[in-house]
Structure 1
Amino acid sequence: MTQNNFTTGLSWRRPSDLKTLVENRTTYTLDSCELNIFETHQKAADVKLRFGDLVLTTMLQGKKVMHLFDKPGFDYLPGESVIVPPNEVMKIDFPEAELDNPTQCIALSISKEMIENTFNLLNERFSDRVLTEKWGLDLSYFHLINTQDLSEIINRFIRIGVKERSKEKDLIASFALKELLIRLTQTQARDMLEKTYKELSSKNRLAHIVDFIKENLSEDFTIEQLAGKACMSKAHFIRTFKTELGLTPMDFILNERLKMARHYLSMGGFQVQEVAAMVGFKSSPYFNRAFKRSFGKTPKSFSDGN
């Protein structure tokens, strides 16, 4: 009986198909990139991997402990990605992998030419950056929690690599790869803002807006108000925010309110209606629906479970 990964629809290989129980590798070669799927079916330590091109790795199932840049190891879990520069050695431990609990991840190596061409095009067409000077990847933010957009394009790219059989496969993959690089930079930008918005708020317009939103979650916001604080027109503000961070200002506010609501509920001692008001929701039914859509539980169920 095969076990499916419900995110991507990939199936585990049968034991008789495995060449090795540790980092069994299946490779799909495409123009400008190589998609590798790794499965590990037994505990192991200090397994080394290295690629000649920049690699985006994404965990699909199980747990690794990843060692990079001669720094202490960190847990690497499903829903997370790690960007690894060319020729960097990954040292990996598999503390929990077993035949009936395998670890599965992808490693997508991307050619230097594809990366340069994509970001050169973006820098030509969308040169008015606010958060950073240019489009590109920042290896200071190499360990990421996948956003929904990033997860969706990663899953789509895996399906293209594994299942697409048309003669246009490489062209389709090329378009998807460009989108993946865009989503990756947007995810990095959001991660960077989350960690640095306080120190950047006095000198960067987007950081200033993020700081204002986080400090005033219980208040009502209008796009016009936020655009004014950013010294932008409404249209320019919405376009800049969405382009650089990958979501609209109102979606960002909603996400921040839901994160803070989850924090308050996990603390205990608050009624659901109190929490909704504390983070700026004017409608309890809307709060309940939005919370369940994001976290899979109603606020009350989440609170009772804590």
Structure 2
Amino acid sequence: MSTQKISQLRAPRVLIENKISFAGPDSEVSIYDTYEAASRVRLDADELLFCGMVTGRKIMHTTGAETIAKGQVFLPHESFVMAPGGIVEIDFPDATLENPTTCLTVEISKERVSSISDRLNDSLPILELVDQWQSKTPVLHTHHSTETQRLLTRLTTLFTENHPD
């Protein structure tokens, strides 16, 4: 799909969380643009959800976290991963029509994650004290490198071009 076509698809239909999605087997890539300031916009993760910030700034309020009241600032070159069933409320303090806040998400089905996890558990030795690996929190917020940002761009290209990979 051409860059011009993607730009046309991204044209604002709604001002808050204007979303376009590209589905593949067991996964989906979405681009979210927000064009006006908003508070406490709810996002529910049905599947494992990786979020990569592209432009702008968000404040992420996660349930059950100590930072729920003030939230965590989410900027470009940062990643936010949500477990299935996770909920976050998002503030868009700086979003405008001229300077939208943009985020890229990659959603991976629970079945695919389970399949990969099973293969890892079968092929790697399990520590004596641990039966299976588990995360202690339903969300993970971290900085990522320029290479990760390039990988996100490449994934978006593969999905938008309906590439067989």
TM-score range, shorter chain: 0.7 to 0.9
Residue number in structure 1 paired with 2:30: 36
Match of 1:108 among 101, 106, 109: 106
Residue number in structure 2 paired with 1:138: 135
Give the Cα separation in 1 of the matches to 2:9 and 2:158: 25
Contiguous gaps of at least 5 residues in structure 2 = none
Q: Using a 3 Å threshold, how does the CA distance of structure 1 residues 12 and 160 change in structure 2: closer, same or farther?
A: closer
Q: What is the 5 A alignment of 1:130-209?
A: 138-140=135-137, 142-163=140-161, 165-166=162-163, 169=164, 172=165
Matched, 1:18 2:12: yes
- The CA RMSD measured in Å over matched residues stands at 3.0
CA positional deviation for 1:19:
1.2
Match of 1:119 among 112, 117, 120: 117
Q: Using a 3 Å threshold, how does the CA distance of structure 1 residues 43 and 145 change in structure 2: closer, same or farther?
A: same
Q: Using a 3 Å threshold, how does the CA distance of structure 1 residues 100 and 33 change in structure 2: closer, same or farther?
A: same
CA positional deviation for 1:53:
1.1
Residue number in structure 2 paired with 1:180: none
Partner SS for 2:156: helix
Q: Which has the larger radius of gyration?
A: 1
CA positional deviation for 1:148:
4.7
* Cα offsets for 1:52-76 (capped at 9, x unmatched): 1121111111100001124321100
Paired residue total: 157
CA contact (8 A) 2:84 2:110 kept: no
CA contact (8 A) 1:83 1:139 kept: no
- Read off the aligned partner of 2:46 and give its amino acid letter: G
* Cα offsets for 1:18-48 (capped at 9, x unmatched): 2101110001111111211100111111111
CA contact (8 A) 1:55 1:86 kept: yes
Residue number in structure 1 paired with 2:75: 77
* Cα offsets for 1:225-261 (capped at 9, x unmatched): xxxxxxxxxxxxxxxxxxxxxxxxxxxxxxxxxxxxx
CA contact (8 A) 1:127 1:134 kept: no
CA positional deviation for 1:109:
1.6
CA positional deviation for 1:100:
1.4
Give the Cα separation in 2 of the matches to 1:153 and 1:134: 32
* Cα offsets for 1:259-286 (capped at 9, x unmatched): xxxxxxxxxxxxxxxxxxxxxxxxxxxx
Give the Cα separation in 2 of the matches to 1:134 and 1:145: 29
Give the Cα separation in 2 of the matches to 1:64 and 1:97: 9
* % same residue: 25
Partner SS for 2:118: helix
Give the Cα separation in 2 of the matches to 1:63 and 1:10: 25
Which structure has more helix as a fraction of its residues?
Answer: 1
> RCO greater where, 1 or 2, for CA within 8 Å and sep 6 or more?
2
Structure 1 residue runs of 4+, over 2 Å off? Answer: 9-17, 122-129, 132-141, 147-156
* Cα offsets for 1:109-161 (capped at 9, x unmatched): 211111111122223333377xx968856253711111455334333222211
Partner SS for 2:76: coil
The TM-score, its normalising length taken from structure 2, stands at: 0.80
Partner SS for 1:17: coil
Q: Using a 3 Å threshold, how does the CA distance of structure 1 residues 149 and 133 change in structure 2: closer, same or farther?
A: farther
The TM-score, its normalising length taken from structure 1, stands at: 0.45
